[in-house]
Amino acid sequence: MLTGQQADAASVPAGTIIPNTAVIAYQQDGKEAQATSNTAGIAVEEELGIDLGWASSSALDVPEATSVRVPFILTNRGNGREAFVLDGTIAGIDAAISGFQLSGDDAGAAGAVISKGGQTVELAPGQILHFDALVQAGAAGRGSLSVTAHALTGYGQPGTAFPQKGDGGSTAVVGATTAAAALSKPLVATGGAGAGEPVVALTKAQKVEAADGSANPTHGAQITYTLTARITGVGSALGAVVTDPIPEGTDYVPGSLTLDGSAIADGGNLDASGIAVPLGDVASGQTRTITFKVAIR
Whether the CB-CB separation of 91 and 144 falls below 8 Å is answered with: yes
Residue 85, judged by CB atoms within 10 A of its CB (0-12, 13-18, 19+), counts as middle
Q: Which of 5, 42, 1 is nearest to 125 (CA)?
A: 5
Rg of the chain taking only CA atoms, in angstroms: 25
Q: pTM of the full predicted structure? A: 0.54
The span from the first CA to the last CA of the chain, in angstroms, equals 29
Residue extent(s) of CATH 2.60.40.1170 domains in the chain: 198-296
Strands 46-48 and 172-174, by their bridges, are: parallel
Residue extent(s) of CATH 2.60.40.10 domains in the chain: 47-189
> What's the Cα-to-Cα distance from 120 to each of 105, 114, 143, 164, 174, rounded to whole Å?
14, 7, 27, 21, 19
pLDDT tens track, the chain, 297 positions: 343 333 444 466 665 666 676 777 868 788 887 877 676 766 567 788 999 988 765 545 555 555 678 889 999 999 889 999 999 999 888 888 989 988 754 343 446 889 999 999 899 998 999 888 888 877 667 788 899 999 999 999 999 999 988 888 888 899 999 999 999 888 777 655 443 467 888 888 999 998 998 888 889 999 999 999 888 766 788 888 999 998 889 999 999 999 999 999 998 788 878 898 999 888 878 899 999 999 998
Cβ neighbours of residue 215 under 8 Å, at least 6 residues apart? 5, 207, 208, 209
Main-chain dihedrals φ then ψ at residue 240, nearest 5 degrees: -70, 135
DSSP one-letter string for the chain: --B---S-TTPPPTT-EEEE--EEEEEETTEEEEEEPPPEEEEPPEEE-EEEEES--S-EEE-TT-EEEEEEEEEE-SSS-B-EEEEEEEESSSEEEEEEEE-TTSTT-TT-EEPTT-B---B-TT-EEEEEEEEEE-SSEEEEEEEEEEESS---STT-EETT-SGGGPPEEE-TTTTEEEEEEEEEE-----TT-EEEEEEEEEEEE-TTSS----TT-EEEEEEEEEEEESSEEEEEEEEEEPPTTEEE-TT--EETTEE--STTTEETTEEEEEEEEEETT-EEEEEEEEEE-
CATH for 47-189, among 2.40.40.20, 2.50.20.10, 3.10.520.10, 2.60.40.10?
Answer: 2.60.40.10
Identify the pLDDT of residue 84: 96
Identify the pLDDT of residue 150: 96
Taking phi over 0 as left and psi of -120 to 50 as alpha, with beta for the rest, 175 belongs to beta
Identify the pLDDT of residue 190: 66
Distance CA 29, CA 105 (A): 70
Identify the pLDDT of residue 260: 93
CATH architecture entry for 198-296: Sandwich (2.60)
